[in-house]
Structure 1
Amino acid sequence: MTETLINATDRSLLQTRHLLTDIPGPRSLELHAERAEQVSSGFGIALPVFVERAEGGIVRDVDGNRLIDFASGIAVTSLGASNSRVAERVAAQLEKFTHTCFMVTEYEAFTKVCSWLNRNTPGDFAKRTALFTTGAEAVENAVKISRAATGRPNVLVFDEAYHGRSLLTMAMTAKVNPYKKNFGPMPDHIVRAASANPLRNAGVRVEQVLESVESTLREHDPFSFAAMVIEPIQGEGGFVVPMAGFIPGLRKLADKYGIVLVLDEIQAGIGRTGTLFASEHEQVAGDLVLTAKALANGVPLSAVTGRAELLNAPHAGGLGGTYAGNPLACEAALAVFEQLEDGVLLANARRIEQVVREVLEPLLDSTSIVAQVRGRGAMLAVEFADRGTLVPRPDLAAKVSRDCHSQGVITLTCGTHGNVLRLLPPLVIGEDLLRDGLEVLSRAIASAA
């Protein structure tokens, strides 16, 4: 949160929390009522406020309230929701053309995005990249690529995983409600193995979890698996940082059985954890790495990057999509890459973690409801559970989040049991603003306790 970066965002929206009305305010309530008349009720909502402007770490609603953004559009707007350099590059591209479809006629920005990802994803081997539009598309295409390269059908996924809302990615996702409920039957050839949640596996050694994973592979014939897909930090599953050695252990199992190791970095990648990719903390390179969300700072874009022989395995025409690697999205991504080059954003993510831990970790001793404060960089979470039994307390997570909302701090819940509050502030948030939001959160937790 250096002053250089704060100034570089060219903010005109005052970076302080300020409430003029109750949250939600009267105009937001009017618009929300209209939404209910026009929009499918299948869309949920964390906070029914309508946004008029967003910049840096602040979201201003239609009632004039300024709220602190601890969500970043679910880890998307890491550079703020109206980053000036992203806007400049997208605007310049708008003057040229908005779309041609890369499978019809080509444009250089697509290749440049692929080149940056090939250079910067972990792994000292020749790489190729394929661009798509959504995170779920990236996951599905990683499965397609793995099956094309190996000739095998099965895919190994893990407890507490989240990989998307399409039919295949729902099958790969662990959580039933709301993601899979009423939407079956699910595609087959998806096998689930144990994850290495340190809090929920206290006293269990990582070697034991890896033995369980290998046992699951053997039950289904390990040589029938095309891919194993894992998030380096599990997102919707609860921001779970795996036991030390788990991801490297999966790397060894993948090598042993010729399985493609797919690292789903859709939420954790592009600087969120204080490194470009979360897997750098594990010192592991995936055969395929998936990115989306923060990749283009809010303009829809996703990517599969990995070993050249894998990306080149599908037949010509086998990969693609009408909007895959749209030129506006590619220009937005190039603007993101420019701003990652000097390392300031990565340093900011690490500083955010220091501040969050400084404020929230004392709650482990001062309350009996905070089971763990965890995460890396600006991808952090508080899990609520009864201290002695670890019985999940989703009621407390919901209450704390509601209290934060009422005080003008946007927070999100997650976790298999809905008992985790997650923090995803933009990497450009100022420290004063960050601390103000954390004080609101800390008071809400103390009140709930």
Structure 2
Amino acid sequence: MSNDQIDAILEQVLARNPGEDEFHQAVREVFDSLPRVLAKRPEYTEASILQRLCEPERQIIFRVPWVDDNGRVQINRGFRVQFNSALGPYKGGLRFHPTVMLGTVKFLGFEQIFKNALTGMPIGGGKGGSDFDPKGKSDGEIMRFCQSFMTELSQHLGEYTDVPAGDIGVGGREIGYLFGQYKRMTNAYESGVLTGKGLTWGGSLVRTEATGYGTVFFARRMLELAGRSLDGAKVLVSGSGNVAIYAAEKVKEFGGLVVGASDSAGSIYDPEGIDLDLLRDIKERRRDRISAYADERLGAQYRDGRRVWSVADETPIDVALPCATQNEISESDAKSLLNGGVTAVAEGANMPTTPEAVRLFRDAGVLFAPGKAANAGGVATSALEMQQNASRDSWSFEYTEQRLSDIMDGIHERCAETAEEYGTPGDYVLGANIAGFTRVADAMLALGVI
């Protein structure tokens, strides 16, 4: 298939999905890596694999009515995009945030196809959520919303059909309410239908830590292959939620120094290294703004309205771990990081680096791990939770973490070997895209036109 043919398919995808910029960005990023593999494997073109991959198998949109604490009826919109099940049941999180639209869910679901494929585990790609905002809501309001949301969604789920998990705005509390309503609707304790559950009712150890830990496991392997190390590295982590905190914890364990973190209001710089106990207390227990960290930590600085990457303008930075949200590293942020001497970037969030910034990093020879590879630890451990549920078993923290580490090493190996096979050693973007794509495409060929 020629580049012109690929461009023509891309134009069809854009025309069929107008206004969905994030989805367009995700599709372009994968398509850019495919000319060589499509030239080598003409059967993919003959079976219209590209066109079929970009069209979800099912898109579900539904109304979510619920009653607030003042007795007023509120209406939100729910989504579930079941994108591709060639490798197994749909698997992907639910996001509750006011910015959620169909295009958001489609971009996340499309990325999830390849991320799940890279784990080597039998799970397909899907994603869902709602424009509901849990912030400022009471527990009762959140419970009533989750029950209404699951009443509709339950008919589309099942441990062999579709297995959601949490994402932004959906933590253990929300998963509990969702699972309780699913149990009520089905009259069955089908624990494998949701992951991210509480440890006393079917959850898995390491699931909370998995995405952050996995990102650092991948970054460590990437650096080791290039003859470098996290030991002694100065690191910036964006965000201050689960992914960011546990990424910072693992960096510290491997000898690195995390000097910056952030939230939606601003960022902090702590030249002595972030005090993770204090940060956890502020963000997880008190649910306060990150500015409180600088108020309570001698020598720390708070930067109102500024992204954490600006720290690189005044101090050398070795590694950047974007762990917050999509498109958070702009072209100017990338320039700051490059001027600060950054040598590696590993995406803990989904598509947090703009295309322009990615191009700058790759052109500069920075080791760059895309989210579909680097942050796959979360969904991998969700699949491990499904295994434990299926066998009515519960594994130790140490055993589960070792399984996670082995899976991330396997993902790194697939990406590195694929990049080398296609003539671009060290190009983790190309390696991840082709390795994920070929695994899904081969399964689609085997299953026929469905």
- TM-score by length of structure 2 reads 0.26
Which has the larger helix fraction?
A: 2
- TM-score by length of structure 1 reads 0.26
